[in-house]
Structure 1
């Protein structure tokens, strides 16, 4: 992992989910955040979710996430092999995490398995350019790389969560 571990206050200065989640989520949805880390987004997602899965392979991070979204279901699992039931999730979120996952194709296949038909994948990640904080440039992924990984999905929206990041929204076709 690279460039993680920001305090909430520091992170909220440049990446404030309250400014864009309302336009991406309708409420009452089953949401899974894959690679949730310490739960920065879980804290906000809980207000939109009828059920919230917070998944991370680094178990100690989930202890902090539990403080932020106590009603969520926490799974210490690899994003490529979760215990989330098939076709049960309305929205999958990757917030600054997919670029760190080694088995990206397997992760995308797992997203296809857990997501309902017409379900949404929301990606938030760092622009592929050098900044004074965040992951190194060589770790970052371009929008085009995401579009290639999620080619079995339909790209329906692009948004700007911060001046350092981009957001993509895909819909599961089948």
Structure 2
């Protein structure tokens, strides 16, 4: 199996210009107090940390292949006295096996475009969710990279990797494991899709 096609972890300054209020974005996507959540491809926690503040005391499982980013996330959580983040080193294709429990929500932000083995990942997401749980996909809009600029520089994945919301929706719904609840516009360059299991 091919490994996830990573398009590099941006620094926090970069994210802050794109997502100045990550907690507000997560709330728009339906993250609520008491929600157990797994973020796939969490990196060093730009979404996992605010998610944990919202869901506390319920856990947020931050899943990533990069142990150094998870170590950084552990450090940041300790600094910020956030006690409900649990880092999990592992592959999204094994999500249901590496999580210690089923969760209410799986979040996949800025990564769906890079997954080669989507069917296996989607099956693992389905099996990691509790019945009635939600799968939230946030992704870059299908626009040329030259048009998605931050501080005058083109940002985001290469144009040929980008998926529009229709293509992402079709890929998820093909599994017959999910139904679409809603689509959320996330300006300036993203969309969110909320699916229920």
Match of 1:149 among 171, 175, 181: 171
Q: Distance in 1 between the 2:87 and 2:100 partners? A: 14
Tell me the secondary structure at the aligned position of residue 87 of structure 2: strand
Corresponding residue for 1:80? 93
Corresponding residue for 1:41? 47
Where do 5+ consecutive residues of structure 1 fail to align?
none
Q: Distance in 2 between the 1:116 and 1:66 partners? A: 26
Q: Which structure: greater helix fraction?
A: 2
1:117 equivalenced with 2:128 (yes/no): no
Q: Distance in 2 between the 1:37 and 1:135 partners? A: 16
Counterpart mapping for 1:1-174 below 5 A: 1-2=6-7, 4-15=8-19, 16-23=21-28, 24-49=30-55, 50-70=58-78, 71=83, 72-82=85-95, 83-85=98-100, 88-130=102-144, 131=148, 132-151=154-173, 152=176, 153-172=178-197
Where do 5+ consecutive residues of structure 2 fail to align?
1-5, 149-153
Q: Distance in 1 between the 2:100 and 2:71 partners? A: 23
Deviates more, 1:130-139 or 1:12-21: 12-21
Q: Distance in 1 between the 2:87 and 2:125 partners? A: 17
Tell me the secondary structure at the aligned position of residue 46 of structure 1: helix
What do you get for the CA RMSD once the two structures are aligned? 1.6
Deviates more, 1:8-17 or 1:122-131: 8-17
**Per-residue deviation, 1:85:** 4.4
- If you compute each CA radius of gyration, which structure gives the higher value, 1 or 2? 2
Q: Distance in 2 between the 1:84 and 1:90 partners? A: 12
Q: Distance in 2 between the 1:139 and 1:85 partners? A: 32
Give yes or no for contact 1:46–1:69 (8 Å, CA) kept in 2: no
Give yes or no for contact 1:36–1:97 (8 Å, CA) kept in 2: no
Runs of 4+ more than 6 Å apart = none
Q: Distance in 1 between the 2:180 and 2:15 partners? A: 27
- The number of residue pairs the alignment matches comes to 170
**Per-residue deviation, 1:99:** 1.7
Q: Distance in 2 between the 1:68 and 1:160 partners? A: 29
